[in-house]
Structure 1
Amino acid sequence: MFTAFARAFKTPDLRKKLLFTLGIIVLYRLGAHVPAPGVDYAKVQQCIDQADSGGLLGLMQMFSGGALLQITIFALGIMPYITASIILQLLTVVIPRLEALKKEGQSGTAKITQYTRYLTVALAILQGTGLVATARSGALFQNCSVGDQIVADKSIFTTLVMVITMTAGTAAVMWLGELITDKGIGNGMSILMFISIAATFPGALWAIKESGKLADGWIEFGTVILIGFVMVALVVFVEQAQRRIPVQYAKRMIGRRSYGGTSTYIPLKVNQAGVIPVIFASSLLFIPSLIVQFSGSTAGWATWIQDHFVTGDHPYYIAVYFVLIVFFAFFYVAISFNPDEVADNMKKYGGFIPGIRAGRPTAEYLSYVLNRITWPGSLYLGLIALVPTMALAGFGGANQNFPFGGTSILIIVGVGLETVKQIESQLQQRNYEGFLR
């Protein structure tokens, strides 16, 4: 990995792309520390150490690089774009018009991207309004005595300015991500997501060291680092694992030329769903506690939810979380990979799987293989996502501060691997030595 980056900096055009990407990253991190207008920054810093960043709030805090609770201009971060992309991907299966656009190629993809941008802005307005309303009421920092003084001016004008600023910040983040994709290295949105998560690691690690009791916290600190290395190794191993379905293309004579006759394969990843099931399960599990929080009810059902689904270390929460991850893994794989469509395309171009008849038998075989490899993939996702909960037994407060959570590790390792692969592929294009050499 480090060798690839060293060689990339020696190549002029790649060095220019890498420096451009680093410049965008610096701008993004600067924007994550600029307070939104109307926010009392001193009181925010006073409350931020006492904040409870669990559930969906913790997920948004992670994707914003710690900017959410500081109520900065980039407070919403990349989360509205991620949500909009997931929604559009799900709607593509449901709405025939979007499905037709997806099949149109580059022009259709450009149109879906435009819809994603519009939806991102709409979601940013919605989430920004919710964040400002929560900050004004003092509910953002429930354990802080000055939580209701964060936004001193509670007028409609100030609220509108704050919402517009955060929405513009989200649009700027989206633009910065697209700039990286066009003129830098890697997928821009993934790079910004990577930076947002990595930015929270040093503070989280130091918080564990400060709260530790063995050898001034250094034993806990070292143990967490060791767990992190083991998890990274496990994630790299599983993320790279795939089942390769061999495909043979028959020879075809068109005029005097012979086409086809090649062998290739269909790569089916063990973790075909990526990190999406973990995000879905986390968001869904936060809804009951959100309902209780806004209803203010003290009835029996509200107390039961508070006891069983607010803290992540309760057995009910763990069991439901694990089952939801497994369910969403199968659900997302089912809507993102269509065996019938793959089988039809293979049949159209004269391809077949050795030993399997083309058409319907091929689709059934692909579906069978996909279901078999999704089981270990979904169980792996569930175990990785529960690491912070299991760490809670050994490290007090790990549910909030444990840096090597399943979602963060999956995203960091996945983005890192894809970026390094892209750098290596571009290096190979520029340093390829053919037969004439």
Structure 2
Amino acid sequence: MKPIQVGLLGFGTVGGGTFQVLARNQDDISRRAGRGIEVRAVCRRDLAAARAAVGEGVRVVADPMAIVNDPEIDIVVELIGGEGVAKDVVMAAIDAGKHVVTANKALLAVHGNEVFAAAHAKGVMVAFEAAVAGGIPIIKALRESLAGNRIEWVAGIINGTTNFILSEMRAKGLDFDSVLKEAQRLGYAEADPSFDVDGIDAAHKLTLLASIAFGVPVQFDKAHVEGLRGLSSLDIKYAEQLGYRIKLLGITRRRDELGGIELRVHPTLIPTQRLIANVEGAMNAVMVQADAAGTTLYYGKGAGAEPTASSVVADLVDVTRLATADPDHRVPHLAFQPDRLDGSLRILPMSGVRSSYYLRLRVADETGVLSRITTILAENDISIDAVLQRESLEGERQTDLIILTHTTVEEKMDRALEFMQSLPSVLAPIARIRKEDLA
């Protein structure tokens, strides 16, 4: 049978890794796919560098539309990134009747509804395992392996840069700015790290996971997003003393009593005995709670040339297997058939989220401060789980007060924080970090 012909749009780290994996493992890949998979053309602005990498027999172009318009190409692999040119070429490829494989979480999180609708109308596939958590096959697990389950929640460390920063802050006792500079020096963080450290990258990925888990349209604009800026090394130290680790988590949870789902990214306290709390460095991990399978954990490298290429090639194999299948009976893009996506299941506002909390208050070291604070919490129906007070040094007139609460509603905590912050004895902005047991 004639090999499937592939065009690579973008030939940087992931594109180069994809080419290498396809070349190195071509025998195993063709046996698994049922036919060969060949790269016919690659697109890169630096033509000389691309030609040097791919050798003879592979067409090299600078214009991505040259690949989209090539009638011999069956699958377009979009590795350009972003929402501009990438969206144009993906929509053009779909319009031309070509299948698409992409690692572009930003494109799908923002424009996924449009992309998937166009693909469904044309009877082509858009595969995107590499868009979430690199080499971890979490998309396939949710779409296929857990298809018989009702998903209750998904929680994950889905950005390696922020996990590296938090791991280094904890291990070395350094502040955020110092570790960020080290992450940039080592290549874990970009020169402009905002996309990662502000939680945007994780929110893009979580948006896709939520859609697949619960059968809702992608709704990135409704996600609650908090990053690491302003996180203090003090909070990491106090969390350790209380038996917790701080991780930047993406969390999406079904809330049937409110008729919606939570969709949130923020620093989170996790008990140290949980496996996910011990994921260190630039590694990723995703936990899924399902009614039949129970709790499952998926762990691995969330970025890098070959881990991400592993997912790209897996998608190429899947598309190749199904290229001649009845389009109405393929695995749907978001796991649920397009006409069955639940538009009534709304994304809940952050004010309705239920969580327990870690609070750090810098307070005057004087009689009655703790009593006033606990009274405010009680008046807002917030019960206390634990209290830790740093012993003041000789001559020091202020101290840190650490409070762990039981589960409450976010709007009640917001109200209590407003009252506590207004107390003259509270000397600095209160640090608030949500806490999840994930059991």
Question: TM-score, structure 2 length as denominator?
Answer: 0.26
Structure with greater strand share of residues:
2
- Normalized per residue, the structure richer in helix is 1
What is the TM-score when the length of structure 1 is the normalising length?
Answer: 0.26
